[in-house]
Amino acid sequence: MRADRLVSLVLLLRQRGRLTADTLARELEVSVRTVLRDIEALSAAGVPVYAERGRNGGFALLPGFRTELTGLNHDEALALLTVGSGRGEQVFGLGSALASAMRKVTDALPESHRATASDAARRFLVEPESDLLSRRPAPEEVAGATMTEIRRAVLAGHRLRIHYAATGQAPQWRTVDPIGLVTVRDRSYLLATRSGADRTYRMSRVLAAEELSEAARRPDQVDLDRVWRERCAQFLSGDHIAVLVRVTPQRRQDLMSSAVAVRASAPDPDGRLRLEVTYQDLRHAEWALWQLGTDAEVLAPGALRTALRDRATALAMLYEDGA
């Protein structure tokens, strides 16, 4: 852990020049005291880092010093920098590791290509927070320590204890065999089995986690894309109801928040959005879509259109004569 941080510190100084202890601490997500200890360790190891005093002072490397990192050509580095510049830092709690990796990628390039690749990566934007039609939903929060335990268990092939809060139930501890992690539309899921039965856990509902030393009962190889497709199909084939609806861009987030799942989204010529969403049942769909008033129009199924029409008719009749 400390070795990676020392490398990151050297790369920061190489790429940005003189930096203050406060800036280094913020970039490395450690205390200023830790930065000062790391600077002393680098000096003792022969790395030519020195301090400049004064108002514009900080730490810097002697000119010409270079760490040897090789193996990437221009396009390979550009691809990694582009992906890393998007929302990847939100995925599976790997933000600090991604930042460190991006510094190493940049440093691995020849001097003549470094500035070109970094500038080119800034010309590509991957998965921005807002699109042309509306604002993206906020990503769900998962505690860093919880995510780390789950990630370690998945990669090590160990069993996992999770404190899980299922909808409408009190949180309970469960022991599961983790298969993999999936993130979709800023929501993360743990795919696992429990007592041999398939289970899918929403990461934002995992309150705590503990990696166990016991080996997980799972196949050595897994096609995670296939497993995810199968679980999605199984989930949507239950008692849920699929609804095709047109909604104004301003109310898309309200619609998505009330739905169990969103399967497709496309713009209509008039500026509205056409979405295929899933609700628990007809009653749930009727309640959720009634809240949107005229900002949403159900296209299918017909039973839901009829239910909403009958409710609107009853309300109109109630107020027909006035007070």
Q: Containing H/E element for 196?
A: none
Q: Containing H/E element for 293?
A: none
The tally of CA atoms less than 13 A away on the side-chain side of residue 22 is 2
Both tokens of residue 295? 């900002």
- Between CA 193 and CA 178 the distance in angstroms is 7
Q: For residue 295, what pLDDT is reported? A: 93
- Residue 102 burial (CB < 10 Å; 0-12/13-18/19+)? buried
Q: What residue has token string 């730490």?
A: 59
pLDDT in tens, 91-124: 666 666 666 666 666 665 556 556 665 565 565 5
How much is the CA Rg of the chain, to the nearest whole Å?
26
Q: For residue 131, what pLDDT is reported? A: 57
Residue 24 and residue 59 in contact, taking contact as beta carbons nearer than 8 Å: yes
| SS3 category, 283 | helix
Amino acid identity, position 148: T
Q: Considering the entire predicted model, what is its pTM?
A: 0.51
Per-residue confidence band for 301, with pLDDT thresholds at 50, 70 and 90: very high
Identify the CA nearest to 262 among candidates 252, 248, 271. 252
pLDDT of 292 higher than 60: yes
Number of helices and strands (H, E) in the chain? 11, 11
- Between CA 163 and CA 193 the distance in angstroms is 15
pLDDT of 79 higher than 80: no
Both tokens of residue 85? 């510049």
Residue 105 φ then ψ, to 5°: -60, -50
Q: For residue 70, what pLDDT is reported? A: 47
Q: For residue 83, what pLDDT is reported? A: 57
Q: For residue 87, what pLDDT is reported? A: 52
Is the Cα dihedral 85, 89, 95, 97 positive or negative?
A: negative
pLDDT in tens, 37-58: 888 888 877 778 888 877 777 8
| SS3 category, 248 | coil
DSSP 116-156: HHHHHHTT---S-SB-SSSBPPPPPP--HHHHHHHHHHHHH
Share of the chain above pLDDT 70, in %: 71
Q: For residue 102, what pLDDT is reported? A: 63
Residue 78 and residue 120 in contact, taking contact as beta carbons nearer than 8 Å: yes
DSSP 61-96: EPTT---------HHHHHHHHHHHTTTGGGSTT-HH
Which residues contact residue 128 at a Cβ distance below 8 angstroms, ignoring those fewer than 6 apart?
86, 136
Both tokens of residue 185? 């539309």
pLDDT in tens, 136-177: 556 677 888 888 899 889 888 999 999 999 877 889 999 999
- Between CA 140 and CA 65 the distance in angstroms is 42
Q: For residue 69, what pLDDT is reported? A: 47
- Between CA 102 and CA 89 the distance in angstroms is 11
- Residue 302 burial (CB < 10 Å; 0-12/13-18/19+)? exposed
